[in-house]
Amino acid sequence: MPAILLLHGFSGDKSIWLRFARLLPAGFRLLIPDLGGHGRNPSDPTLDYGIQGHARRTIAMLDTQQIDRVHLVGSSMGGLIAATVAAEHPERIASITLLSPAGVPGAQVESLDRQAAAGCNPFLIEDQSDFDILFRMIMQRPPYTPHVVKAWLCAHFSQRRTHLARMYQAYERSLGLPCVYSRVLAPALVIWGREDAVFDVRASSALLEAMPRADLQVCDGVGHLPMLEAPVQVADLVTRFLAQVMTAPAHPLAASAT
């Protein structure tokens, strides 16, 4: 049975995929993990939280699950992790779908650059006002979230602030490594929200230049988390992409990597 692996972004967890994952076609084995240090995983200060560390654990998980090849889907930081795995282990990747991926040259938006220059990280939450700012930044049309749930999320982020800062430092250092997207040989689908306030959708042109086998789909009225904001639309795009990949003849570039 073909497998799909979903990789969430920084400070997220596996729950962000639930509205989207239930709409994917039957006949696939779904793997939806919490990344190291995220979700219900422990806050281990000895763990490598850089992109390479996440990529190594991803391959180790596939090995443990005895999965030879996988369709990778990654959001934000998860997209960069997915691209790193695809670049370093092309024989293991059947396809790759990137949702507003991190690490694309020129993608950082001006407002975040200004915040970073001022020493402000919107992902490091101290109180409800900080959380409201983050919530509005990452989603243009967020799903309904009860106040009590928002309060719990705010408290959860606040309690993990030191751990998130440690993980973010490792992630930020990884962004200084050479761009991996040009080394991705697998067929690729790029989905980007036109209203993304985290990574500028205009950087998608640079991504397409780096990945000649990639197709771009821009979702109008959607922010940084397309699969959470527009799950039906994104699931339809991914379903049609997977159908094309499954029926297409082997590409010479991909065949040469095996």
CB 228 within 8 A of CB 139: yes
What amino acid occupies position 118?
A: A
36 confidence band (pLDDT: 50, 70, 90): very high
Tokens of 235: 């699931």
Q: Which domains does the chain have, with CATH numbers?
A: 3-257 (3.40.50.1820)
Please give the pLDDT value at position 136: 83
Tell me: the pLDDT tens digits for 233-252?
A: 999 999 999 999 998 876 55
Encode burial over 119-142: b for 16+ CB neighbours within 10 A, e otherwise: eebbbbbeeeebbeebeebbbbee
Give the dihedral of Cα atoms 76, 127, 157, 200; nearest 10 deg.
Answer: 0
Please give the pLDDT value at position 154: 87
3-class DSSP state for residue 72?
strand
Over residues 108-135, the mean pLDDT reads: 74
Please give the pLDDT value at position 251: 58
Q: Which of 33-37, 51-55, 115-119 is the least confident region?
A: 115-119
Please give the pLDDT value at position 151: 87
Percentage of the chain lying above the pLDDT 90 cut? 67
Distance CA 230, CA 233 (A): 6
Q: What pTM does this model have?
A: 0.91
Q: List, in sequence order, the alpha helices (H) in the chain.
A: 18-21, 51-64, 77-88, 110-117, 128-138, 147-159, 161-174, 204-210, 226-229, 231-247, 252-257
